[in-house]
Chains A and B, each alone.
Chain A
Amino acid sequence: MWSYEKRLQYPVKVKTPNPALAKLIATQYGGPNGELGASLRYLSQRYTMPYPELKAILTDIGTEELAHLEMVSALVYQLTRNLTPEQIRAAGYDAYFVDHTTAVYPVDANGMPFNAQTFAVSGDTLTDLHEDLAAEQKARATYDNILRYADDPDVRDVIQFLRQREIVHYQRFGEAKQTGWNGPAPFPKDPDAGFSKRRPLYSSFGYKNFSGRVTRNARANSRKFSGVMV
């Protein structure tokens, strides 16, 4: 389960409303590289992950993305406070306003509602981990693009924090990809700990598939639809 803490991961305090900027930032709420897709991607992928480290990192990063979702929505909320109809029209926020007023709804920068087709959950360990690495870079690039259009230091500070987190997550996913083959098993050799059967994600025989068996060679692998070849 999850429990809520009445605080943001990093504080958001915007003094000056700016609906035009809110429209751009909202894409990290409901857009193709946004935090909603990020959390759903990781929290959905974790069930078919074969190693304890992978289940842990997807659970934890998926959880942190929910905290980022809250920060992005706090930015959107604070940037659209106390607006006059003229300000809304001048900022091009009127089209969003007629549907949602200043409520926070998951859309991309063009107003398209959130779509689960923006992320993949394949059940294949390597495919999913590479999807995750790409996702972190796509989110980082989107934050870079937002920074090109954000002058307000209150906003830039928060966006730079979120951008930095994408880089840290990318690093963690990169390490997760090497789990189990990059050196000896890290846990003490306690048979009760449940890690005695751990096998490398890659091996000299082939790739460990989702059923837990190591396939012997590439040809067998492609015939039996059991995973990706090394």
Chain B
Amino acid sequence: MNEQARLLRRLSAYQFAAWELHIFLDTHPNNCEAARKLEEIQKTVESLTAQYEAAYGPLGESAAQTSRWAWITGPWPWETGEEES
């Protein structure tokens, strides 16, 4: 696994934790403990997202890093990195 994949995996793990809390709070909107954890994890997501995008280009259209070439360049999420560019 290269450095980019490792960082993306780390970011995805935090985003997954945030998502789990997000949908848990849909059915438990008064759970302060879950809301507090979500807020905490979102901070890590933010900093890892900034770190990833600065190095490897935007993850979405609202990214601070706006390189158009980095956006259109692969690998795309479904690709393995071995495709012809």
Contacts and interface: CB of A to CB of B under 8 A. Distances in A.
Pair from one complex:
yes
Interface of A: 3-14, 53, 56-57, 60-61, 64, 70, 73-74, 77-78, 81, 168, 172, 175-176, 179, 186-187
A7 B60 CA distance: 9
B30 interface: yes
A48 to B, nearest CB: 17
Contacts of B24: 172
Chain B, interface size category, equals 20 to 34
Closest 5 pairs (CB-CB, A-B) = A186-B30, A74-B78, A175-B27, A56-B26, A57-B26
26 contacts: A3-B62, A5-B59, A6-B59, A6-B76, A8-B12, A8-B77, A8-B78, A9-B12, A11-B8, A11-B12, A12-B78, A57-B23, A57-B26, A60-B22, A60-B23, A64-B23, A77-B78, A168-B20, A168-B23, A172-B23, A172-B24, A172-B26, A176-B27, A179-B27, A186-B28, A186-B29
Contact of A70 (B11, B20, B77): B77
A187 to B, nearest CB: 7
Given A9-B16, A11-B9, A187-B29, A4 B78 contact: no
B56 to A, nearest CB: 9
A230 to B, nearest CB: 21
Contacts of A5: 59-60
A60 B12 CA distance: 17
A175 B65 CA distance: 40
Nearest to B24: A172
Contacts of B58: 6
A4 B23 contact: no
B61 interface: yes
Contact of B27 (A3, A14, A73, A172): A172
A3 B62 CA distance: 9
B80 A14 contact: yes
Contacts of B76: 6
A43 to B, nearest CB: 15
Contacts of B28: 175, 186
